[in-house]
Amino acid sequence: MIGGLIFALLLQAQADTPLPNGGEEARAQSLMREIRCVVCENEPVSQSMADIAIDMRRTIRNQIQQGKSDDEVRGFFRERYGNYVLFRPPIDGAGILLWVFPFLLLLGAGGAIAFRMFRHRHRDLTPLPDDRSGDPAP
């Protein structure tokens, strides 16, 4: 029982072993901050302790050791999990909608507020009587 626990802890430690090349490890860390854990909500794989995040970190390091570019690594995860896995989704197809929607929402809300304000503005107001009627003030 204790041997199995030690073996599991060794496997866990091996999963997060940094790459020997400092430049490659820096690239891996950067990618780990850009890729979202698919189990945790809005947490990068660099900070998540979920089992799948550990596997994702291992995959990122393995792909970097194989000489794949950052875009290829992102593409691998995008194909497997969809655009959700990327904190910065690509600007193509549905990705454009993700980038533009907040601005369209603000523009629409501002337009609706302006329309309501100008529609309810009273245009035929009667003028106020002139206080300069010639009578002295008491």
For residue 127, being part of any structural domain is answered with: no
- Count the domains in the chain: 2
Of 79, 97, 98, 93, nearest to 35 by C-alpha is 79
pLDDT digits (tens, 9 = 90+) for 15-42: 578 778 878 899 999 999 999 999 988 8
pLDDT the model gives residue 12: 55
pLDDT the model gives residue 7: 56
Provide the whole-model pTM: 0.60
pLDDT the model gives residue 111: 94
Q: Is residue 72 domain-shared with residue 106, that is, in the same domain?
A: no
Q: Please, what are the averages of pLDDT over each run of 10 residues along the chain (138 residues)?
A: 62 65 89 93 90 93 94 94 85 74 93 88 72 61
| Residue 113 lies in domain | 91-121
Q: Is residue 16 domain-shared with residue 82, that is, in the same domain?
A: yes
pLDDT the model gives residue 18: 78
Three-class secondary structure of residue 107 per DSSP:
helix
C-alpha Rg value of the chain to the nearest Å: 30
DSSP classification of residue 93 = T
Q: Which pair of structure tokens corresponds to residue 62?
A: 């393995």
